[in-house]
Amino acid sequence: MNDNGTLHELNGRYALRFELFFPHNPEEIFLVITNPSHFSQWYPFATGEMDLRLGGNIAFDDGEGTTYNATITELEKPYLFGFREVDDLINISLQEKDKGCRMIFTHTFNDDSWAVNTAAGWHKCLDVLAQIVNGKPIKWHDNSTELRKIYSDAFNMKR
């Protein structure tokens, strides 16, 4: 993944925003993002159970005994996919651009004390998403410490 995420404050909440460019059309990217088997490969704790409709549920399991559902809040094929995961909002928008697609991934949440760790985690997840989209074998990079330092410095926060 080329670009690092940015942190924004909005109405007392925080939003991490990542932008990625893919040399594919939005339809192709949307299919990968919303395909339950692909989704569970790059999205943390996703089980692969997804009712892909407005108001539908996405099932999660943290592997430590906690299961929960997210509710799909936005679904406009092939440009918009969003859901509420407890109090957090995830929005993924796709726009045609330069013979490809610009994806904007936004995670909105309440507590900025987790912003650095969350940004580092999403960076790794979106890197895997890019591998899936581009037909490459999935490789999770062991760069969490480096990413936390990058985001700590970028957000001017203590780790």
The whole model's pTM is what?
0.94
Q: Which H/E stretch holds residue 39?
A: helix 36-42
Distance CA(43)–CA(138), nearest Å, equals: 13
In degrees, to the nearest 5, what angle opens at C-alpha 127 toward C-alphas 13 and 92?
A: 45
Give mean pLDDT, residues 94-117. 94
Q: Which domains are delineated in the chain?
A: 6-155 (3.30.530.20)
Share of the chain above pLDDT 70, in %: 97
Predicted confidence (pLDDT) per residue in 32-81, tens digit: 999 999 999 999 999 999 999 999 999 999 999 999 999 999 999 999 99
Q: Rounded mean pLDDT of the chain?
A: 94
Tell me if 14 sits within 8 A of 117, measured CB to CB.
Answer: no
pLDDT of amino acid 2: 55
Structure tokens at 16: 């991490």
Predicted confidence (pLDDT) per residue in 41-55, tens digit: 999 999 999 999 999
Distance CA(135)–CA(119), nearest Å, equals: 24
Largest CA distance in the chain: 45
